[in-house]
Chains A and B, each alone.
Chain A
């Protein structure tokens, strides 16, 4: 009889970085497909551009930093960053905007801080926020209109040659439209606009549901825990119930949940294990904070969507949250919390 000599921990399963990142990419596919079908080729081209740039930039800078290039490229983390950014950017943005954003994400926000695992902020969101602050014109007016999607060649010429897209093919997002128009119209009048479609927000609602499905897949595969998405949605939904109960005054709950980047943010962006809080209690605080901040910025801020800013702000707070939500260590009666007891 052979005695199996193994020491703890007795974990099972191939939980490598490559596997986790691959699963995240897989879970992003349905939402991406829905976006591409509703809004046209822009999302496909952006995805290819961002991924190509990300791989090149990551390889180049790994070489400069004298790190093994193949090993770090194989972990697919650069592709996940690129995918998140490509899904967040407007589909008809010029090509250099996507390339610039990806370079910022990979070089500045990730590699200059020391590569995967050392970045205090979510790289894709750093790039998105930087682009939104720097080039607001391109970032707010180049969203595609689902009723008038451009063909492949028209999209290519808008993105690469810089042809001005035909009238009506581009516009603002539903969140933006609602926020601007509700100041002078009633809710039923605003919702007449074609950008809202038949359900909540044409194209966006199904994409959000698809991202919700992808998130459920990640939960089922135990790649993420429920804490951040649930507290995120509770924070956002709670604020919307408290302050947006009158749809004639502010953006209603349905549009908050299904109108912008909410589901993508809740399941894919906020759950980034590197830049989020780590303990379970900490994750609850972290997600709740993001949800509340999104509502605050969307409602009283200058920008139409707020996932990037809210995530970055809570990234700042994550180390502090971790300090105050440490779990009890085995053998101690009480958990050590905060800085006083050190």
Chain B
């Protein structure tokens, strides 16, 4: 006869293993730049009036964040701590200038629509935060991945917020997508509601505040739901004492 084995604590943690998985999960959900860290709110609130604006700014931010994380990681061993911030800011500013020039060259109209918010990417705290908090201490490849995932999470929030505001504000989706995708996208515009009276509140910045508040509330709600489910699925300790045989022969 054998005593029942003491089962190791059931692992309900379904997170993907390894650093890559962790970085992905952090960037997209657990540590999302917009929903959890609440960084980069200025562009988030200012330019998410339509899907196309959100997408344009999100991609520009992605280029800058991946580039700056990579560059910072490459020079991490050669820059003394005392001057690291000026060095990082210069790197970031160079990438922002690159992004700005690229947009000026290839998507000139979008460049004009987004205006001051493209140069202002340099002040997006997510970028300096990732440079100082991650890329400075990690090798090139993880830094690159971290930059990509962080900006992807940011881009996703921008897109959702842009879609919500465009839908409520103008009753349409994907207006002016040709600014990014060229003439192919001319008729991507979907008019969801006919004869929609423009609801200016959603188009103006206050609408972005309310929309972001709802997105954060939704994320917290999902998180608490997941936590409650994990709690339910966990093995319950058996109530009462267990008898352990201490005399005689133990087979």
Cβ of B202: which chain A residues have Cβ within 8 Å of it?
Answer: 134
Within B196-227, the residues touching A (CB, 8 Å) are 197, 199-202, 204, 210
The winner among A133, A134, A136 for most chain B CB atoms within 10 A is A134
Main secondary structure of the interface of B (DSSP, over half): helix
* A107: min CB distance to chain B, Å: 11
Interface 1/0s, chain A 66-82, versus B by CB < 8 A? 00000000000000000
Asked whether, in the complex, the Cβ of B210 is within 8 Å of the Cβ of A133, the reply is no
Cα distance, A61 to B24, chains bound together (Å): 36
Cα distance, A136 to B199, chains bound together (Å): 9
Q: A135's contact among B199, B204, B210, by CB below 8 Å, is which?
A: B199
Cβ of A136: which chain B residues have Cβ within 8 Å of it?
Answer: 200
Asked whether, in the complex, the Cβ of B197 is within 8 Å of the Cβ of A130, the reply is no
Cα distance, A137 to B200, chains bound together (Å): 11
Asked whether, in the complex, the Cβ of A133 is within 8 Å of the Cβ of B197, the reply is no
Cα distance, A108 to B201, chains bound together (Å): 13
* B121: min CB distance to chain A, Å: 29
Closest-by-CB residue of B relative to A137 is B197
Cβ of B199: which chain A residues have Cβ within 8 Å of it?
Answer: 134-135
Asked whether, in the complex, the Cβ of A134 is within 8 Å of the Cβ of B201, the reply is yes
Cα distance, A130 to B204, chains bound together (Å): 11
How many residues of chain A get a CB closer than 8 Å to chain B's CBs?
8
Cβ of B201: which chain A residues have Cβ within 8 Å of it?
Answer: 130, 133-134
Closest-by-CB residue of A relative to B201 is A134
Check if A138 is an interface residue, CB within 8 A of chain B.
Answer: yes
Cβ of A130: which chain B residues have Cβ within 8 Å of it?
Answer: 201
Interface 1/0s, chain B 184-200, versus A by CB < 8 A? 00000000000001011
Interface band, chain B: under 10
Cα distance, A327 to B149, chains bound together (Å): 56
Asked whether, in the complex, the Cβ of B210 is within 8 Å of the Cβ of A108, the reply is yes
Main secondary structure of the interface of A (DSSP, over half): helix
Closest-by-CB residue of B relative to A96 is B197
Cα distance, A135 to B197, chains bound together (Å): 8
The winner among B201, B204, B210 for most chain A CB atoms within 10 A is B201
Closest-by-CB residue of A relative to B213 is A112
The winner among A108, A130, A138 for most chain B CB atoms within 10 A is A130
Interface 1/0s, chain B 104-121, versus A by CB < 8 A? 000000000000000000
Closest-by-CB residue of B relative to A97 is B197
Cα distance, A130 to B207, chains bound together (Å): 10
* A81: min CB distance to chain B, Å: 19
Cβ of B197: which chain A residues have Cβ within 8 Å of it?
Answer: 135, 137-138
Asked whether, in the complex, the Cβ of A134 is within 8 Å of the Cβ of B210, the reply is no
* B204: min CB distance to chain A, Å: 7
* B40: min CB distance to chain A, Å: 25
Closest-by-CB residue of A relative to B200 is A134
Cβ of A133: which chain B residues have Cβ within 8 Å of it?
Answer: 200-201, 204
Cα distance, A135 to B199, chains bound together (Å): 6
Cβ of B200: which chain A residues have Cβ within 8 Å of it?
Answer: 133-136
Cα distance, A137 to B199, chains bound together (Å): 11
* B175: min CB distance to chain A, Å: 19
Cα distance, A331 to B204, chains bound together (Å): 51
Cα distance, A108 to B206, chains bound together (Å): 13
Interface 1/0s, chain A 112-131, versus B by CB < 8 A? 00000000000000000010
Cβ of A138: which chain B residues have Cβ within 8 Å of it?
Answer: 197
* B164: min CB distance to chain A, Å: 15
Cα distance, A137 to B196, chains bound together (Å): 13
Cα distance, A133 to B202, chains bound together (Å): 11
Closest-by-CB residue of A relative to B204 is A133
* B165: min CB distance to chain A, Å: 12
Cα distance, A73 to B200, chains bound together (Å): 32
* B33: min CB distance to chain A, Å: 25
Cα distance, A138 to B197, chains bound together (Å): 9
* A326: min CB distance to chain B, Å: 32
* B215: min CB distance to chain A, Å: 15
Interface 1/0s, chain A 129-158, versus B by CB < 8 A? 010011111100000000000000000000
* A315: min CB distance to chain B, Å: 16
* B89: min CB distance to chain A, Å: 36
Cα distance, A138 to B204, chains bound together (Å): 18
Cα distance, A340 to B205, chains bound together (Å): 35
Cα distance, A136 to B204, chains bound together (Å): 14
Interface 1/0s, chain A 212-233, versus B by CB < 8 A? 0000000000000000000000
Cα distance, A36 to B201, chains bound together (Å): 30
Cβ of B204: which chain A residues have Cβ within 8 Å of it?
Answer: 133
Cβ of B210: which chain A residues have Cβ within 8 Å of it?
Answer: 108
* B209: min CB distance to chain A, Å: 11
Closest-by-CB residue of A relative to B199 is A134
Cα distance, A226 to B210, chains bound together (Å): 37
Closest-by-CB residue of B relative to A104 is B201
Closest-by-CB residue of A relative to B210 is A108
13 new A-B contacts at CB < 8 Å, known A134-B200, A135-B199: A108-B210, A130-B201, A133-B200, A133-B201, A133-B204, A134-B199, A134-B201, A134-B202, A135-B197, A135-B200, A136-B200, A137-B197, A138-B197
Complex A-B, nearest 3 residue pairs according to Cβ-Cβ distance, in ascending order = A134-B201, A134-B200, A134-B199
Task: Give 12 pairs: A residue, B residue, CB < 8 Å, sorted on A.
Answer: A130-B201, A133-B200, A133-B201, A133-B204, A134-B199, A134-B200, A134-B201, A135-B199, A135-B200, A136-B200, A137-B197, A138-B197
- Please list the residues of chain B having a beta carbon within 8 angstroms of any beta carbon in chain A: 197, 199-202, 204, 210
